[in-house]
Amino acid sequence: MIQPAEVTAGNLAFPATVIGKFLPPKEEIPEEFRENWQHCKWSSLAQDWFYEGLPADVEFHMKDGVDGAKAFRHLSVCLRSYEPSHQHKIAGVAYLMDCWMEKVEIPSKQKVYP
């Protein structure tokens, strides 16, 4: 199983190079996320996070063995980077969320992802 990487304060402040380190290369992202990224089950959360941020009441339900704090920082670096195309970024973040999370709940918006 892919695990979240250690993210430094420098990575968060200057997330320049993420492909291959934090974000899988496009060809390594499964087709279901790459080819239909606008409709995959996690892409709407990735899009909301990218455009609006996440509210304070967000609840991440991680899969067994995944460190939620590390995953949050890892995904944050990916979403902040200008290196990948938007489609690659959203597809990659959706894929990583699928690997690491059972679900995400946002009570204030009455939303549950996926």
SS3 labels along the chain: CCCCCCCCHHHHHCCCCCECCCECCHHHCCHHHHCCCCCCCCHHHHHHHHHHCCCCCCEEEECCCCCHHHHHHHHHHHHHCCCCCHHHHHHHHHHHHHHHEEEEEEHHHCEEEC
pLDDT in tens, 59-112: 999 999 999 999 999 999 999 999 999 999 999 999 999 999 999 999 999 999
The whole-number pLDDT of residue 96 equals: 98
Whole-number average pLDDT of the chain: 93
The whole-number pLDDT of residue 78 equals: 97
Residue 35 banded pLDDT, cuts 50, 70, 90? confident
pLDDT in tens, 10-28: 999 998 899 999 999 999 9
